[in-house]
């Protein structure tokens, strides 16, 4: 992710630099010239990154392979949006700095004001007003996105306003960009990004995101294996093309509420059925058990993701680690391996749970792994003090060669394991994880 964003920012900066190098500045003094070019650069970076975020918000399945999965696309979308807001805020601050420069250097040496026809002048005035208004709202949206205590159900509705705000900012960028930009690489690049971002906004506003991967179905069973777990099985229409073990999908029970992403916890048996194990982690999921009934219509969009069994490195030791509801992709893996137990790779499966005696997945894991001799199950009951640590894993494989760790669970837990194992095993470690954060 860091490489992609850095490369994207570098490309935009290079295009701006090429344009700035041929701009004589019209006799402006250095402080005012620096302000003008900083204003342009911050604007280019802000709207460029926001265009990227808008395109990634359309859930482009074609980019899953090069970008590593839809979970990473969501993470890239999030950070592109955050950086866009940072540069937008910087752009606004630079715009407001004219009074400070006047007090320090006087009005002498200001960049000569360009004059345009009446129509373009009116458009530029409108673009400036709308852009300032949209920047305030975008900054507020980013703050709410980062404030985890802000209820997700409200955040989702506010987030739907982003395409409109983007279109306002795209208009601002198009009419206020220097006219000579459009005859240079910076203009060609910005034109393409603005067109792509506008198209993505239209897709979002018309409800067409993911439509070609969306199928209808009905709820065939609902169960509560534990007070905070709702198990929902859906029978889907013929449009469902199946899934690979470990993928996720967006499931919607209510048109107003919209769809939410959950990992598919069952293998693809070719019978158009999918099962989800949904943990009560918020208002929506806590009420789900009482709001879903057998026979209820459902829509499922997907599948997405590359946290899949087929991507294992057969020449590396396999360690699978799950924390809490992060066990769901591994349930799907084990379910898929039941059909061909002899093909299962040697693996250690570590499941960390808060209370093993009350965890409905423990017995299921024991049953599934009992039929797969090559998968060695380890249950870590944190209520009994059995916390999984990097040192424990390293001690169990003192002579480890190349090792591939697959992790799904709470991010702090994953960060601790990844950092600890990397320090012990170094380049012998490949740590794969599901970056499953939708906000």
CATH 2.60.40 fits 2-205, yes or no: no
Q: What is the pLDDT of residues 71-114, one digit of tens each?
A: 899 999 989 999 998 999 899 888 887 778 777 666 666 665 66
**Residue 67 phi/psi, 5° resolution?**
-100, 0
| pLDDT tens profile 211-265 | 999 999 999 999 998 888 999 999 999 889 999 999 999 999 887 777 889 999 9
Asked if 328 and 251 count as a contact pair (C-beta separation under 8 A), the reply is no
Identify which of 192, 137, 195 has the alpha carbon closest to the alpha carbon of residue 161: 137
pLDDT digits (tens, 9 = 90+) for 12-54: 999 999 988 766 555 667 777 888 889 999 999 999 999 999 9
Domains of the chain by residue range: 2-205, 211-304, 309-433
Distance between CA atoms of 439 and 159, rounded to whole angstroms? Answer: 10
Least confident of 1-10, 76-85, 173-182: 173-182
If 0-12 CB within 10 Å is exposed, 13-18 middle and 19+ buried, where does residue 128 land? Answer: middle
Q: How many CA atoms within 13 Å lie on the side-chain side of 203?
A: 18
Instruction: State how far the Cα of 111 lies from the Cα of 420, in Å rounded to an integer.
Output: 55
Tell me which CATH homologous superfamily contains domain 211-304.
Translation factors (2.40.30.10)
The architecture of the domain spanning 309-433 is 3-Layer(aba) Sandwich (3.40)
Does residue 329 surpass a pLDDT of 90? Answer: yes
pLDDT of residue 344: 80
CB 273 within 8 A of CB 210: no
DSSP 284: H
- Cβ partners under 8 Å of residue 95, min gap 6: 39
| Six-digit token string for 54 | 């808008």
Alpha helical stretches, state H, 57-117: 64-67, 70-95, 98-105
Distance from C-alpha of 219 to C-alpha of 97, rounded to nearest angstrom:
58
DSSP-derived secondary structure letter, 199: H
Q: What is the pLDDT of residue 438?
A: 55
| Number of CB atoms found within 10 A of residue 77's CB | 20
Question: Which segments within 148-246 are labelled E, that is strand?
Answer: 214-226, 229-236
d(CA 404, CA 406): 7
- Which tokens belong to 90? 């910087």
Please name which of 342, 397, 396 lies closest in space to residue 374, comparing C-alpha atoms: 342
DSSP string spanning 332-378? HHHHHHTT-GGGPPPEEEEEEES-GGG-HHHHHHHHHHHT-TTEEEE
List the structure tokens of 71. 């979970």
316 SS3 class: coil
């Amino acid at each position: 992710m860091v490489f992609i964003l850095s490369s994207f920012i570098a490309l935009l900066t290079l295009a701006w630099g090429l344009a700035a190098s041929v701009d004589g500045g019209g006799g402006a003094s250095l402080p005012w010239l620096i302000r003008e070019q900083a204003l342009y650069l911050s604007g280019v970076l802000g709207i460029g990154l926001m265009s990227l975020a808008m395109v990634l918000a359309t859930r482009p399945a074609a980019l899953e392979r090069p970008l590593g999965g839809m979970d990473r696309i969501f993470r890239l979308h999030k950070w592109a949006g955050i950086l866009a807001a940072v540069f937008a805020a910087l752009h606004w601050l630079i715009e407001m700095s004219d009074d400070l420069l006047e007090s320090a250097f006087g009005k002498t040496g200001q960049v000569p004001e360009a004059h345009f026809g009446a129509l373009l002048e009116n458009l530029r005035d409108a673009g400036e007003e709308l852009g300032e208004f949209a920047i305030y709202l975008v900054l507020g949206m980013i703050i709410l996105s980062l404030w985890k205590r802000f209820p997700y159900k409200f955040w989702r509705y506010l987030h739907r306003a982003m395409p409109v705000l983007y279109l306002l900012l795209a208009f601002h960028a198009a009419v206020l960009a220097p006219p000579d930009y459009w005859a240079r690489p910076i203009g060609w690049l910005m034109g393409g990004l603005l067109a792509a971002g506008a198209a993505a906004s239209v897709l979002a506003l018309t409800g067409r995101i993911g439509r070609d991967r969306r199928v209808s179905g009905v709820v065939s069973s609902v169960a509560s294996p534990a007070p905070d777990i709702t198990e929902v099985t859906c029978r889907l229409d013929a449009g469902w093309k199946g899934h690979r073990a470990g993928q996720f999908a967006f499931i919607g029970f209510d048109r107003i509420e919209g769809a939410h992403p959950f990992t598919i916890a069952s293998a693809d048996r070719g019978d158009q059925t999918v099962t989800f194990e949904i943990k009560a982690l918020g208002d929506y999921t806590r009420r789900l058990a009482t709001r879903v009934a057998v026979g209820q219509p459902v829509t499922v969009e997907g599948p997405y993701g590359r946290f899949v069994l087929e991507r294992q490195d057969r020449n590396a030791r396999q360690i699978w680690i799950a924390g809490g509801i992060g066990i769901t992709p591994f349930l799907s893996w084990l379910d898929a391996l039941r059909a061909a137990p002899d093909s299962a790779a040697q693996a250690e499966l570590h499941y960390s749970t808060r209370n093993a005696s009350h965890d409905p997945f423990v017995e299921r894991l024991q049953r599934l792994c009992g039929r797969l001799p090559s998968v060695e199950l380890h249950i870590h009951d944190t209520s009994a003090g059995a916390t999984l640590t990097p040192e424990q894993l390293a001690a169990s494989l003192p002579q480890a060669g190349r090792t591939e760790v697959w992790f799904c669970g709470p991010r702090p837990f994953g960060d601790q394991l990844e950092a600890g194992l990397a320090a012990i095993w170094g380049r012998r470690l490949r740590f794969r994880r599901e970056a499953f954060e939708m906000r």
